[in-house]
Amino acid sequence: MTIGSLCLFCGSMPGVDPAAAELAAGFGAFCAERGLTLVYGGGTFGLMGIAARAALAGGTEVIGIIPAALEAREVAQPGLSELIVTATLHERKALMFAKSDAIVVLPGGIGTMDELFEVMTWRNLGLHTKPIFLLGGRFWQPFLGLLGHLDRAGFAYPGLFALVETVDLVGLAAFVDR
């Protein structure tokens, strides 16, 4: 599978750990170094804005997709290669997914978790085979614990843990560069 574009789901807030902002900037630079198109939520704030600005600074294409209802709240990032305004949040997620070859998820809040669970559900149902990478290992430990709880409680289909892969930028590079 050739990877030309990565969908980024992440926080519209920076979080309290400066390592999250460093990770977002590193991810944006990673996309630029490899000439990968970054597809993200279109905003200027938080980790998503940091990643987008780093990718733009590196000279790669950045596509922002933002619902009209959030355009003023999230403030669209200036200088994007393309900004698409959608009617709904669901349309935003579907278009971000459609325009990407793989999904990368950085730390974030309930919106990020919603996006992650949706693409995991689609993959679990066999609606796609795109890889889903969790970047920022320590942040994801409680989430993986929740998946384990769902499994132990009998609410997970076989293969739950194969739906996502926790990686760092080196691990992501190994996948993208092959």
Give me the CATH number covering residue 17.
3.40.50.450
- pLDDT band, very low/low/confident/very high, at 6 (cuts 50, 70, 90): very high
Domain count, the chain: 1
Q: What is the 3-state secondary structure (H, E, C) of the chain?
A: CCCCEEEEECCCCCCCCHHHHHHHHHHHHHHHHCCCEEEECCECCHHHHHHHHHHHHCCCCEEEEEEHHHHHHHCECCCCCEEEEECCHHHHHHHHHHCCCEEEECCCCHHHHHHHHHHHHHHHCCCCCCCEEEECHHHHHHHHHHHHHHHHCCCCCCCHHHCCEEECHHHHHHHHCC
- pLDDT band, very low/low/confident/very high, at 154 (cuts 50, 70, 90): very high
82-91 pLDDT, tens per residue?
Answer: 999 999 999 9
Tell me the residue range of the domain where 171 lies.
5-176
Give the global pTM: 0.95
89-114 pLDDT, tens per residue?
Answer: 999 999 999 999 999 999 999 999 99
41-97 pLDDT, tens per residue?
Answer: 999 999 999 999 999 999 999 999 999 988 777 788 999 999 999 999 999 999 999
